[in-house]
Amino acid sequence: MRKNFFKTIVLFICLTLIVPFISTVNVFAATNDAPQIIGESAITMDLDTGEIIYSKNADVKRSPASTTKLLTSLIFAENKSKSDLIPYTDTSASLTETTLSGYLSGGAKPGDTMTADDVMKAVMIFSANDASIMMAESVAGSVDAFAAMMNEKAKELGAVNSNFINPNGLEVNNTTHNVTTAYDLALIGKAAYQNDWIRETMELPSTSVSINDAKIIIDTRNKNLGKDGNVGGKTGTETMAGHCFVGYYTRDGRNLITVVLGSEYGAEGINVFNDTKSIADYSYNAEKVPFKTAGTEIGTTELEYKLFRFFGPTKTITAPVVLDSDIMYYDNDYNSANAKIELSNTDLDAWKVASNNTVDLTFSIAGYNETVQGSVQLSTGQLLKANFPIYAAAVLAIIIAIVLIVVIVKLISKSNRRNRRSRYYR
């Protein structure tokens, strides 16, 4: 009876000590799980390295709503100066949805002007649709011509799955609207953030702009600004697009861009911002895991060589390529679908590889590239074995040639001795 009581006490003490540790481990594991967000598509990219840390349907084409204006503002910034005067036109003055003109009694009139800097503020902080049309027409002369510039710039940035028909992201109907992906928008957003004018503008929580002499106070639509390392962003909301947000974060010297598309607006309009905070927090805590480990065969390579090393017919041999060290990456659906390992130099000579089989490999995921070490599994013995009949025949031919030369030399020598003796006896 005493023994059972003693065992019970010991078991209770052990459980008391162990259970909190198990709970801590479970909580730690849970905090490192990829977040479940409302947004239909999302991505987190390291602004400095280009690495994709978090991804959800990042290659799915969607309407981007007013996040389009990142590209619009980038092209505008590359073609205008802050002090330039930008006029209202018939097209920009006629807009009524989310406009600066709506803050003026009677609205803005064609010919009214704003400085380019105020136009930038109106677009990046307030998301004014009329100001984005002013950007487009002042740069390209028309919305259609500017849309062509947008598509050209998008392709230049690597955003090859995007198509833009207007500078503000307004949707005409279910099928007629701008199209991009979370990944493409991250590339566009990265380029926009590298522009000082745009970056400094989106950092402002509020400011004022003027149309002619009328001053208008505008506040940012970015509800994450100044929180948890958020230093800027661009919002967007439309019927097909849902609630969208491109955010920029700086923590502990690391700079990230986040993209969330297709979130729900919600009663307070904060779902997309909650989604953004979730993926930003996760991304700052995420750790890389092995994509491929050392010793893994990652493919084969065809190597050319001269049969007799420096001369003879050219031949090829297939050899396996293995990793010399682990390749680490962020495990997510985008990386898993797009990661590649390739031989950096495909113009290799088999004889040289056989004597030094270390090679450079390129590990790449979209715009991110890393050089890793690998080995080509090829030896001189394998080359000799692959051509043994030819080498054996060559050796035999050499031996025969040497024997013939020796025989001929002996015959000549013998003949010379006979000739000398013949002359002596005369």
pLDDT in tens, the chain (426 residues): 444 544 444 444 444 444 444 443 333 333 468 999 999 999 999 999 999 999 999 999 999 999 999 999 999 999 999 999 999 999 999 999 999 999 998 899 999 999 999 999 999 999 999 999 999 999 999 999 999 999 999 999 999 999 999 999 999 999 999 999 999 999 999 999 999 999 999 999 999 999 998 999 999 999 999 999 999 999 999 999 999 999 999 999 999 999 999 999 988 999 999 999 999 999 999 999 999 999 999 999 999 898 888 888 999 999 999 999 999 999 999 999 999 999 988 788 888 988 999 999 999 999 899 999 999 999 988 888 877 787 677 677 788 888 888 888 888 877 777 766 666 555
Domain boundaries, the chain: 41-286, 291-378
pLDDT value for 422 = 62
pLDDT value for 12 = 45
Q: Is 0.85 surpassed by the pTM of this model?
A: no
Measure the CA–CA gap between 109 and 101, rounded to whole angstroms: 8
Rg of the chain's alpha carbons, rounded to an integer? 35
Cβ atoms 30, 282 nearer than 8 A: no
Other beta carbons within 10 angstroms of residue 158's beta carbon come to 17
pLDDT value for 277 = 98
Q: Which member of 69, 80, 223, 292 is catalytic? A: 69
pLDDT value for 15 = 43
Q: Residue 183's closest CA among 368, 10, 32, 7?
A: 368
Measure the CA–CA gap between 375 and 16, rounded to whole angstroms: 52
Tokens of 293: 């480990």
Cβ atoms 319, 374 nearer than 8 A: no
Tokens of 102: 């709506």
Residue with tokens 């010297």: 253
Cβ atoms 72, 66 nearer than 8 A: no
Ramachandran sector of residue 342 (left: φ over 0; alpha: ψ -120 to 50; beta: rest): beta
Residue 234 assigned ligand-binding role: yes
Residues constituting the chain: 426
Residue with tokens 């002369």: 141
Q: Which member of 55, 66, 101, 138 is catalytic? A: 66
Cβ-based neighbours of 419, under 8 Å, separated by 6 or more? none
- Tell me how many degrees the CA angle 204-208-210 measures, rounded to the nearest 5: 140
Other beta carbons within 10 angstroms of residue 75's beta carbon come to 20
> Can you point out the beta strands (E) in 80-205?
85-87, 113-115
Residue with tokens 């019927």: 239
| DSSP structure class, residue 163 | B
Tokens of 172: 């005409």
CA 228 remoteness from chain centre = 24
| Sign of the CA dihedral with 69 first, then 72, 74, and 77 last | negative
Whether 66 is catalytic: yes
What is the DSSP pairing of strand 327-329 with strand 368-376?
unpaired
Sheet containing strand 41-46, edge to edge, reads: 52-56, 41-46, 254-263, 242-251, 230-238
- Topology given in CATH for the domain delimited by 41-286: Beta-lactamase (3.40.710)
Tokens of 417: 């001795």
